[in-house]
Amino acid sequence: MSSELLSKLLDLLGPNGLVTEASDLEGYSIDWRHLFPGKPLAVVRPANTAEVAGVVKLCRAYGTAVVPQGGNTGMAGGAVPDASGTQVVLSLSRMTALREVDPVGMTLEAEAGCVLKTAQDAAAAVGRLLPISLAAEGSATVGGVIATNAGGVNVLRYGMVRALVLGLEVVLPDGSIADGLRRLRKDNAGYDWKQLFIGSEGTLGIVTAAVLRLLPQPKSSVTALMSVPDPKAALDLLACAQDELGDTISAFELMAGSSLKLVEKHFGLRRPIADGDWFVLIEAASSLSGLREAAEAALGNALEQGFALDGTVAESGRQAADLWQLRERITESEAKEGKSVKHDVSVPIPLIPQFLVEAGIALERDAPGTRVNCFGHLGDGNLHYNVLIDGHASDEINRIVHDVVDRFGGSISAEHGIGQYRVAELEKRRSAPELAIARRIKTALDPEDLLNPGKVLSRAERA
């Protein structure tokens, strides 16, 4: 049966659209973190939405599961196949068209395989801003960031990707095409069905194109690195900055001093201010004049009140980029340091300092010898509370950290999604009614469980 399906897929897509050689499948078969190796039956590379629909219809007719894949930069193993050798990976890598950039209506329409950085640059070329900024933006795709409802460093000001999606084109599990590529800011005609697919990780439908909201391009920006005594002082600094700078603050990143020491160790990048236990990277942007003066006054006020101990304000775009490199190299430094268990958690912002205390106590008590690598988006309550392990099991570390997250009313996934990595944890920690809603939606749209099965919801639980 598989050879018959492959023959029909070849007829549909042509030789450029079907990959079956084992050596060519490797890049599609494992996630970025190399935690979930898979074995696809084949990789299909459709060139347009009609071909995506055709692939889905064929695979459904043969009872073959389809795993959508964008840039494959996810952190939760949500875009790779299992090891059965029976699943087809559907790569959007040939669907890269940037269809339209409208500087007046401030919208951008792109196909799902368009690289995020390409879309950002196209918006900037007409004086507009696509404010989705994350470390993998040079390889992550528009469809991927929508499918995962990606976050990034600018959520504080602009919200998650969900807040920037105006319209979607989606291929449903039965192969039909839902065309909702509308550029409307106000559209209250019936259910807003596109929201189901944003963050669904390809389990309910395959995003093939999108209309995204743009904003005016700021004319000036200020980037500063500050050292703070502790996370409580970092929150005081955030409040001070918000009082003085309002909604010009686009990023407010917390980094442990130990995290920056890893960056120095593995990449030779040194912070330009004195050593400390905690640091904050702040970015503000505006189209109005006087931003730098206001930012310097606000940061000076924070130093006077003791919220910050030391700081520097970038004098040029190059210096700002250098400061951001300290933040963006943390994940790679962690990978070079050794095996870790990653946690993408969120807790209510005022409770972050106490969460950090209690999580540290729990790890010291129940998993001695581990080291914490903590950094993240303090302004929106999202921390990457990663644990470098030494002989401890990943499940044990997850339980310890997520138990504390639960006590604080938080979430075990703030921006990275569930994928394969957190399926079991989600099912332990979400209530039965919430899981029942999710299963009903999945069953209604994909009753045969052929679209990215085993991601977000386990197959066993749905049986």
Angle ∠(135,375,239) on CA atoms, nearest 5: 105
pLDDT digits (tens, 9 = 90+) for 21-41: 999 999 999 998 888 999 999
Tokens representing 430 are 């979400």
Tell me the CATH number for domain 220-329: 3.30.70.2190
Distance CA 204, CA 175 (A): 12
Q: Provide the pLDDT for residue 274.
A: 86
Residue 1: per-residue pLDDT: 63
Q: What is the pLDDT of residue 275?
A: 81
| Domain 338-416 falls under CATH 3.30.565.10 | no
Name residue, tokens 């944890």: 425
pTM beyond 0.75: the answer is: yes
The torsion angles phi and psi of 243, rounded to 5 degrees, stand at -60, -40
Amino acid 445: pLDDT: 97
Nearest 10 degrees: Cα torsion 325, 327, 333, 338: -170
The pLDDT value given to residue 463: 38
Low-confidence ranges of the chain (pLDDT < 70): 1, 460-463
Select from 3.30.43.10, 3.60.10.10, 3.30.70.60, 3.30.70.240 the CATH code of 2-91.
3.30.43.10
Domain with residues 98-216, CATH architecture: 2-Layer Sandwich (3.30)
| Tokens, residue 384 | 């990457």
Structure tokens at 145: 């960031």
**Burial label, 91 (beta-carbon count in 10 A; 0-12, 13-18, 19+):** buried
Quick one: pLDDT at residue 371?
A: 96
| Spatial separation of the C-alpha atoms in residues 237 and 219, rounded to whole Å | 25
Query: What is the reported pLDDT for 460?
Result: 47
Q: Which residues pair with 89 in a beta bridge?
A: 43, 67
